[in-house]
Amino acid sequence: MREWIDWYDSDHSIYVSARHRDVHFRRVATDILEFVPHSEAIVLDYSCGEALHADVIAARVAKLMLAEPAAGVRARLAARYAGNPKIEVRSLDELEALPKNSLDLAVMHSVAQYLTPTELAAALDLLRGLLKPHGQLVLGDIIAPDTIAAVDAAALLRFGLANGFFIAAFTGLVRTFFSDYWRLRSTIGLTRYDAHAMETMLIAHGFSAERASRNIGHNQARSTYRCKVH
């Protein structure tokens, strides 16, 4: 995961424009709201990224913890939400010190593909211990083994067309092909799971596994799992 973290903490261009960046994070935030169980919930967003619209979630819960491994991103999060008493910003290492059985909901969206299976297993064990007995984990953006890059590109173009950044999406895809992102994706690769492998992984680490009707975010070729502690 370290190389991906360093890349994400660099001046990358995964978001093709400011408009793309804004609508992406707004869509993710509003989709996460569908999983919030009640207004007194304690929620963790694990490896949250820039989380530009985390305030949308925070307005509907008692506390939102944003855990982010990239130091530069984490500093921006801390500055952005310094005035919001419902939002806490933490490193992943700091999660180890949280009280056991303290979370109602943990979200890990668009993270599993950047982890090795061993790293994902360790994260699941950590989150399993932090969640309350009836808590829930939401695991989003799971990529199936047979998903090709063209599918992701088409999803981005459709998202751009619907949200006013189609030309930027097209030119951004060309730019991405020659970027460090594509180098990392080609050399390190993305970790992929079919439904059986994902369900087996989750059950082995203390969760039930139910595929949600739709994925969080714009790319419906990927999957989201609603996982309950058992």
- Say how many domains are in the chain: 1
Q: Is the pLDDT of residue 164 over 80?
A: yes
Query: How far is the first Cα of the chain from the last one, in angstroms, to the nearest whole number?
Result: 28
Q: What is the CATH number of the domain that holds 73?
A: 3.40.50.150
Per-residue pLDDT band for 43 (boundaries 50, 70, 90) equals very high
The mean pLDDT of 40-49, rounded to a whole number, is 97
Average pLDDT, the chain: 92
Distance in angstroms (rounded) separating the CA atoms of residues 33 and 69: 23
H runs (alpha helix) in 83-165: 117-130, 149-163
Higher pLDDT, 180 or 66: 66
Q: What tens digit of pLDDT does each residue of 99-146 get?
A: 999 999 999 999 999 999 999 999 999 999 999 999 999 999 999 999
For residue 9, the model assigns a pLDDT of: 81
Indicate if the pLDDT at residue 209 is higher than 80: yes
Q: Give dist(CA 48, CA 77) in Å, integer.
A: 10
Q: List pLDDT tens digits, range 165-196.
A: 999 988 988 777 666 665 666 667 789 999 99
Q: What is the mean pLDDT of residues 36-54?
A: 97
**Percent of the chain scoring above 90 in pLDDT:** 81
Written as six digits, the tokens of 110 are 């668009």
Q: Name the residue with tokens 């419902």.
A: 86
Structural domain of residue 219, as residue ranges?
2-228
Share of the chain above pLDDT 70, in %: 93
Tell me which residue of 63, 59, 122, 114 sits closest to 93, measured CA to CA: 122
Q: What is the CA radius of gyration of the chain?
A: 17
47: nearest Cα among 69, 75, 76: 69
